[in-house]
Amino acid sequence: MTTPETSSAGLCEGVHKRPRLRSVAAQRTRRRIPEATVARLPVYLQLLGDQFDAGVTNISSEELADLAGVNAAKVRKDLSYLGSYGTRGVGYEVEFLVFQIKRELGLTHDWEVVIVGAGNLGQALAGYGGFSERGFPVGGIVDVDDDKIGTLVCGARVRHVEDLPEIVRSRGISIGVIATPGPAAQDVADALVAAGVTSILNFAPAIVSCPHGVSVRKVDLAVELQILSYHEQRRANLRRSSRLTAVPGARGRGASA
């Protein structure tokens, strides 16, 4: 039997009504969300979006945990920071949970970003459709190379880095992306901060320091590969160890050597 709680219309109605009823009280009592939880929310959002597209209207913490590769207790704890506790025997309403996570992550409206660096990486990032699809359209791309300035990169005209303050101000940009070689990264970060950017996504192979109040996230593909190589090496060592223990007397011979 379909009820207003489980029907599509009921879900949509709930999405619009409940935030107004709960928002004031929730914002007064909700604790600051831990960084580890913030890092998992986008994962939940992606998974929930896939489930919603597949026609799933309700999901349990156990089901979401299995999809996310974490335990159910952690999922329930994470979602409790949003003021969402689910219903016993029913779970969480997928559409409403998507709305809650988007609201918490500030994804109820678009955030334009400016990319510094129009080289191969900058061009690849500018052409990545996932930015716009997830609410981060490219509002500008700048460089210092005269050969690149004035060219079009995925519909955006490359401007000189000196135009950064005007781009940030005119388009209301608060997020900057560093896509330059490592040696230039700190100067770029300084220029972004001076222009008024308060959040930076750093793809350069360098650590940048920024004033208090400026958020910095670093994406280092080499570091990620090194982490994967650790796991591969560990698997190789385990395989080698298992082969040695499978050979009678191998452990003893190895010890005497």
CATH number for the region 8-104 comes to 1.10.10.10
User: Across residues 177-183, what is the average pLDDT?
Assistant: 96
User: Of residues 14 and 82, which shows the higher confidence score?
Assistant: 82
The structural architecture, per CATH, of the domain 113-219 is 3-Layer(aba) Sandwich (3.40)
User: Across residues 178-193, what is the average pLDDT?
Assistant: 97
Lowest-confidence region among 13-22, 41-50, 110-119? 13-22
Structure tokens given for 213: 């109040």
User: Of residues 16 and 169, which shows the higher confidence score?
Assistant: 169
Strands (E), 4-95: 58-59, 92-93
pLDDT digits (tens, 9 = 90+) for 127-140: 998 888 889 999 99
CA-based torsion, 6, 7, 8, 12: positive or negative: negative
Tally Cβ neighbours within 10 Å of residue 198: 15
Q: Which positions ≥6 away from 211 have C-beta within 8 Å? A: 193
Q: What is the pTM of this model?
A: 0.75
Q: Are 238 and 253 in contact (CB under 8 A)?
A: no
The radius of gyration of the chain from alpha carbons, rounded to an integer in Å, stands at 24
Q: Are 189 and 208 in contact (CB under 8 A)?
A: yes
Domain boundaries, the chain: 8-104, 113-219, 223-256
pLDDT of residue 8 exceeding 50, the answer is: no
